[in-house]
Amino acid sequence: MRVAVVGGTGPFGRALATRLREAGYDVVIGSRDAARAGALAEKIGVEGATNADAARTADLIVLATKADAALETARGLKEQIGSTPVLSVASELHFAPSGVLPTAEGTSLAERLQAELDAPVAAGLHSLAASTLGKDRPPDEDALVCGDDPDGKALALELAERITAGRAYDAGPLASARALEGLTAVIVNLNKRYKGHAGISIAGLP
């Protein structure tokens, strides 16, 4: 399966692309700057392209831009994305003196992406950090994915399970993205307070 990591030149996109390559996927990193994508892609052994070309050729698109660029990027790539399933991994966070807060918006970023695109959108990987994905071995963590389209969600779940040493779990409909994106704020607060690299492990399920 060919996976496009759109906005893939940031820390999370780079770590994810590396892990996907090691898991046996055909990977293309996308960027607004083709030269920048190509330079990074050469370093990690994948293909580089513009975001538009990456999206146009993929079987699954991971939208790995920063949260504040996700909607604009999706709008600009709507034609190239077409009906190709999209996995949203970003979380809108607010940094306050009291700590990191989830978005005050009434809907998740993933739900707003779904409203912009013709493609099915799933949400997931919010508990995985670039620092843990980028280590020598897959992170010993579980991953959660949600979505309304069964086929798109199945592709995202397969991807999540292949890049971790834990399990990938179906967390329900896309509305659950509100909780998954908020989980990122919880994990960042834990990491700041305890100087660690927290992930999640689900107990009590097969």
> Number of folded domains in the chain?
1
Domain of 58 in residue numbering reads as 2-194
Residue 114: phi and psi, rounded to 5, are: -60, -35
204 within some domain? no
Distance CA 52, CA 147 (A): 24
Whole-model pTM: value is: 0.96
Query: Residues in the chain with pLDDT < 50?
Result: none
Domain with residue 96: its CATH number is 3.40.50.720
202 within some domain? no
Distance CA 164, CA 161 (A): 6
200 within some domain? no
93 within some domain? yes
92 within some domain? yes
Residues 21 and 40 sit within 8 Å (Cβ to Cβ): no
pLDDT reported for residue 128 = 96
pLDDT reported for residue 166 = 96
pLDDT reported for residue 206 = 83
Distance CA 102, CA 22 (A): 32
205 within some domain? no
127 within some domain? yes
206 within some domain? no
Residues 6+ apart with CB under 8 A from 71: 109, 112, 113, 116
